[in-house]
Structure 1
Amino acid sequence: MSASDEAELVAWLNGQSERAIETACARIFLAGDVAWKVKRNVDLGYVDFSTAARRKWALDRELDFNRAAAPDIYRRVRTITREAGGGLAWDSDGEAVEYALEMRRFDDRAVLSNDPDAIDGAMAEALGRTIAGFHAAAPLRPEGGWSALAFTVGSNAHLLRDLTGKLEHHRVELLVAKTAEELARQKLLLEARRDAGFARRCHGDLHLANILVENGKPVLFDCIEFNDLLSDLDVQYDLAFLLMDLDFRGRRDAAVRVLSAYLDEAARGFPEGLWEGLAALPLMLSVRAGVRAHVSAHSGDLDLSRAYVEAAIAHLAPAAPVLAAVGGFSGTGKTTFARAIAPGLGRAPGAVVIRTDEARKRLAGTGPVDRLAPATYTPEFYARVYETVFETARAALKAGQAVVLDATFTEPALRARAEALAVDCGVPFHGAWLEAPAQVLEARVGGRVGDASDATAQVLRDQIARHAGQAVRWPKVDATQATDAAATAWLASLP
């Protein structure tokens, strides 16, 4: 397409539109409840849209790929044709000039990148579980995984080195060297995950600008279609873009909530090796930050690019893992407290919160907030739940990720087992025992909705009758105070 033909096309589409949005690879024209997306006539190295056939191929794939996560948004590929009189038209009998993807227009204010601070705990939880469900249903891609990550590592190195003179050369070279070293170190793990079924056709570009909220639910859109090496990925690498984006924007609290929810949901159907794969998460976070570094530089924002380079380097020098355990009677707010301390523990994006309440639902084969029949709670099931939680925590700690165990821990033997697990894994242990008056706890238990806990007022009374007055060595936390203040004070007290 010549420059004059492209200018004519843009003018024609602008004439039908209220507004146009331009990206490095596409132009989107907004009109009423419709959006038309046209690929730009560009060859950027990592993507080649320099012919009409390539652009049509990419749009067809974009329609197909995105229907998996956003079927209500992606409608059809339309042909822009040349009429006999010389003008342009939609889908006429004339010669095909260009192609456009027709989508349902959505409120761009609902895109999460416009207001990351609006992501509350419930939305972070929904994000993690939605993405896990998307990945579980995605087609297997045995050629993806390590090879795809290696491709992006090489691409990042090339594109960042091309920015010599704009970015600090020694920082770029440090990042390139450390990334290559870590990629080689994780090769066997990534290949094992590929063989186990963790390499799938993923979104590929899963950051906040490609997630919107409609009817209170997250919707994933604009996945990568133009290069299989950017979309046939290890699912954890796909998730890592969102985790990195949230962490970079100062929302580590949301990032670790997303990660914890994702892992609980994924553990319901993914093969063994899910938790061990966390060993490769720092590399994946770093590579994602590296992508944003060269994209930001090519968009003209060198300060932002430099910040991403530094973030990418920092991810490759992660903090050591720790094990924390939060105990107390039902209603003390253990989960809320665990989630509040999680961002302050270990490497990015913080400590994974592992709940006995969620493990029970996984083992019982129910949804995360479905109630279990009282008959389910046998001594054997109780022991199996704790066994699962401890073994899961062990795998995460061995992979380098900090963990917060969230359970009642009313039995001294279970508290001792948590402490022994930390010793066995060679990590520091930090306990917290939450306390509040019985009447406060009963009111909280009675007011719960939409939570994984099945505890009732009678369950609470039984706990108090059996275990009140016992000596607990873990630091006490007043569960009647504001959670944020209590979490901040507890974290500040750590050695």
Structure 2
Amino acid sequence: MVPSVNNQLIESLRRAAAYPHAVASVRVIETHVSWVFLTGDYVYKVKKPVDFGFLDFSTLAKRRHYCEEELRLNRRFAPDLYLAVVAITGTPDAPVIGGVGEVLDYAVKMREFPQRSLWQNCMDRGEVSERQIDELAARLAAFHQDATVAAEGAGTPVYGSLKAVTQAALENFEHIGPLLENRGQLRQLSHLQGWTQGQLARLDANFSKRQADGFIRECHGDLHLGNIAIIDGEITLFDCLEFNDQLRWIDTMAELGFLLMDLEDKGRTAWASRLLNIYMEFSGDYRGLQVLPFYKVYRALVRAKVAILRLAQADTTAAEKETVLSAYSHYMTLAEGYTRPPAPFLAITHGVAGTGKSTVAAAVAAATGAIRIRSDVERKRLFGLRPQQDSSAVAGIDIYSREATAKTFDRLAQLACRLLEMGQAVIVDATFLDRDRRRRFKQLAEVNRVSFAIVDCVANPDTLAARLEARARLPESVSEAGIEVMHAQQRNQTPLADEEQSATITVNTEQPLNLASIAARLAG
């Protein structure tokens, strides 16, 4: 399609007569690669006939192919939103959506939803809850679990290899460097380039193992807050990256890192930490934390690159240049922060069922950036159960037997050790009613030369009973410990010894949680 005909077609699609349904008005959003026509009930997305190298929509056949890809990929998580690929027929002066005859172009037909439903807009209005953060994390973990694994073999593109990761990471510096003149900015870029190259060398075996273990998958590819919506109460991912396989077949940690970076970019650090922890609980991919900082730095640098490249545009005004440099500086500072993680520590909770250990541990993890290891989740994982799966529905297993409990604490210790060796702060969410088990984790902290704390959660007996009764009525509770388990724990627990008191932070969970005080104790 020649540009003149294309321009006429686009103008004609602004008219209601082009559509096979009632249209009061047509609103058009133009991006650098597409035109999006909003008609009220439906949206039609038409790809521009452009070729940028990394994206090629230059022919009608290619535009049809990528429309079909966009439909296929997005229907994985938004089948009610992405409806069909429709032909545009008729003439450039009088086009017909979904007509017959010679095809002028193609469009992806989608259900229109109000812009106020975008996650970013909901968040700005204070309408996003912790429960929805948890749902998003669980949804993403489930999507990654089901996503197609990159195949290996002759003739198959090598996605997620060390070579591919290295090329993508170093391209940021190749593009940014020539646009900088300020010495401070050049030093900052050099520092991040050195850090990136050091990480590539240090983590080369990790990247290769993640590729071999199947963590390179057909992901969303562009998962940031602008591509998530809350539609009819449901969290919906959309606008998957369809035009470049290399950018979509990536490590699941690279995708998670982009979303976390975007939350932190918006000042939602605690939410990012909460999302990360819930994702870990549902995915079990704790080893992936080894490469997560690398991918967060990479994603922040991509944003910095996109910002600074605008300086090369001839029509950029002085005010726009100032805005560009401010955005660039912001993302570079964000990237630098990821290279300096907070000091690690090891904390364990203490208390019988119902004392609020999980609530406190989640809040502490969100406030400090720690990774929460939850005994209820890992106990079920040992039996092949999902976090919210009811073990009583599976015949022949007792996840609370003495043997199961011993194996659970072994698993908690192994995970804590692995995370501490990565330099992660850790809070282990378990009862820790046995002194020998507390001593074991204290020794683990000593071996790894990190501070140790016991977060002792307390509440009065009536509160414990009320909480456990309420939890028993929840359809998808992670913990299955009820009142009988709580009474058994009270009978068999070993009280905190005098020598443990100096490391103990007592939290009355019937009172407001003083997170600042707890975080200060853990940091000290």
TM-score (norm 1): 0.90
Q: CA 1:422/1:464 → structure 2, altered by over 3 Å: closer, same or farther?
A: same
Residue 203 of structure 1 is matched in structure 2 by: 220
Matched with 1:281 is: 292
Q: 2:65 aligns with which of 53, 57, 64?
A: 57
Query: Per-residue deviation at 1:190?
Result: 0.5
**Structure 2, unaligned runs of 5 or more:** 17-24, 153-157, 311-319
1:479 counterpart residue number: 508
Cα offset, 1:363, TM superposition: 2.3
Assess, with a 3 A threshold, how the Cα gap between structure 1 residues 93 and 334 changes in structure 2: closer, same or farther.
same
Give the counterpart of 2:478 among 452, 455, 459: 452
Q: Distance in 1 between matches of 2:494 and 2:445?
A: 26
2:364 alignment partner AA: I
Q: 1:11 to 1:399 in 2, by over 3 A?
A: same
How far apart, CA to CA, are the structure 1 residues paired with 2:55 and 2:195?
A: 26
Q: SS at 1:95's partner residue?
A: coil
Instruction: Give CA deviations for 1:347-377 in whole Å, capped at 9, x if unaligned.
Output: xxx2121111111222233332233349442
Map 1:392-403; keep pairs closer than 5 Å.
Answer: 392-403=415-426
Q: Give the aligned residue type for 1:389.
A: L
Structure 1 window deviating more from structure 2 (115-124 vs 247-256): it is 115-124
Q: Distance in 2 between matches of 1:482 and 1:6?
A: 65
Identity %: 34
Match of 1:270 in 2: none
| Distance of aligned partners of 1:291 and 1:360 in 2 relative to their CA distance in 1, 3 Å threshold | same
Q: Does 1:245 align with 2:254?
A: no
1:482 Cα deviation from its structure 2 partner: 4.1
Work out the number of aligned pairs and report it. 483
Aligned counterpart, 2:244: 227
The aligned counterpart of 1:341 is 364
Describe the SS at the equivalent of 1:245: helix
Q: Is the 8 A contact 2:351 2:357 kept in 1?
A: yes
DSSP-derived class of the 1:362 partner: helix
Q: Could you tell me how far apart the structure 1 residues matched to 2:179 and 2:230 are?
A: 36
Q: CA offsets per residue over residues 20-40 of structure 1, 9 Å max, x none?
A: 223333222111221111223
Q: Specify which of 88, 109, 113 is matched with residue 80 of structure 1.
A: 88
2:278 matched to which residue of 1?
261
Q: Measure how far apart 1:276 and its partner are.
A: 2.2
Gaps of 5+ in 1: 268-273
Q: Which residue of 2 aligns with 1:139?
A: 148
SS of structure 2 residue aligned to 1:488: helix
Partner Cα separation in structure 2 for residue 184 and residue 95 of structure 1: 55
In 1, the alpha carbon distance for the partners of 2:512 and 2:307 equals 37
Matched, 1:362 2:381: yes
Q: 1:134 to 1:285 in 2, by over 3 A?
A: same
Partners of 2:410 and 2:255 lie apart in 1 by 30
Q: Which residue of 2 aligns with 1:24?
A: 32
Do the aligned partners of 1:279 and 1:400 also contact (CA within 8 Å) in 2? no
Match of 1:48 in 2: 56
Pairing partner for 1:218 from 235, 239, 246: 235
Which of 467, 470, 475 is the matching residue for 2:493? 467
In structure 2, the CA distance between the partners of 1:157 and 1:2, relative to structure 1 (3 Å rule), is farther
Distance in 2 (alpha carbons) for counterparts of 1:393 and 1:490? 20
Instruction: Determine if the alignment matches structure 1 residue 488 to structure 2 residue 495.
Output: no
Alpha-carbon separation, structure 2, partners of 1:376 and 1:316: 40
Cα 1:228–1:310 shift into 2, 3 Å:
same
Measured after TM superposition, the shift of residue 124 of structure 1 is 1.6
Question: 1:175/1:88 Cα in 2 relative to 1: closer, same or farther (>3 Å)?
Answer: same
Structure 2 counterpart of 1:319, from 329, 337, 342: 342
Seen in structure 2, the aligned counterparts of structure 1 residues 181 and 48 have a Cα distance that, compared at 3 Å, is farther
Contact in 2 for aligned 1:80/1:91 (Cα 8 Å): yes
- CA-CA distance at 1:241 after TM superposition: 0.8
The one of 118, 122, 126 equivalent to 2:131 is 122
Pick which of 130-139 and 170-179 moved more. 170-179
1:453 partner letter: S
Cα offsets for 1:328-355 (capped at 9, x unmatched): 122221111111111343xxxx212111
Amino acid paired to 2:371:
V
Preserved contact between residue 86 and residue 97 of structure 2 (Cα < 8 Å): yes
Q: Matched residues in 2 for 1:5 and 1:478: separation?
A: 70
- Rounded to whole Å, the distance in 1 between the matches of 2:71 and 2:181 is 39
- After TM superposition, where is structure 1 displaced by more than 4 Å over at least 4 residues in a row? 297-301
Larger radius of gyration: 2
Change (3 A) 1:227 1:103: same
User: d(CA) in 1 for partners of 2:65 and 2:190?
Assistant: 36
Give the distance between the partners of 1:185 and 1:266, measured in 2 at CA.
Answer: 25
Amino acid at match of 1:160: I
How far 1:257 sits from its partner (Å)? 1.9
**Higher RCO, 1 or 2 (CA under 8 Å, sep at least 6)?**
1
The equivalent position to 2:43 in structure 1, one of 6, 12, 35, is 35
- C-alpha change, 1:361 and 1:72, in structure 2 (3 Å) is same
Deviation of 1:91 (Å):
4.0
State the partner residue of 1:291.
302
* Pair 1:375–1:180, CA change in 2 (3 A): closer
- The equivalent of 2:22 in structure 1 is none
Q: Partner of 1:190 in structure 2?
A: 207
In the alignment, does 2:400 pair up with 1:377? yes
Partners of 1:408 and 1:171 lie apart in 2 by 45
Query: Compared with structure 1, are the counterparts of its residues 285 and 3 closer, same or farther at alpha carbon in structure 2 (3 Å cutoff)?
Result: same
Q: Indicate conservation of the 8 Å contact 2:216/2:252, yes or no.
A: yes
CA distance in 2, matches of 1:21, 1:158: 32
Match for 2:378: what amino acid?
A
Cα deviations by residue, 1:197-224 (Å, 9 ceiling, x for unpaired):
1111111111111111234332221111
Deviations 1:228-281 (A, max 9, x none): 1101111111111111111222222221222122222223xxxxxx32221111
8 Å Cα contact 1:276-1:398 kept in structure 2: no
TM-fit CA distance, 1:311: 0.8
Partner of 1:271: none
CA displacement 1:404-442 (0-9 Å, x = unmatched) = 100111111111111122223333322211122222222
Distance 1:371 1:297 in 2: 51
Q: Which residue of 2 aligns with 1:7?
A: 7
SS in 1 for 2:259: helix
- State the 1:163 CA deviation: 3.8
The 3 A distance-change label for structure 1 pair 67 and 446 is: same
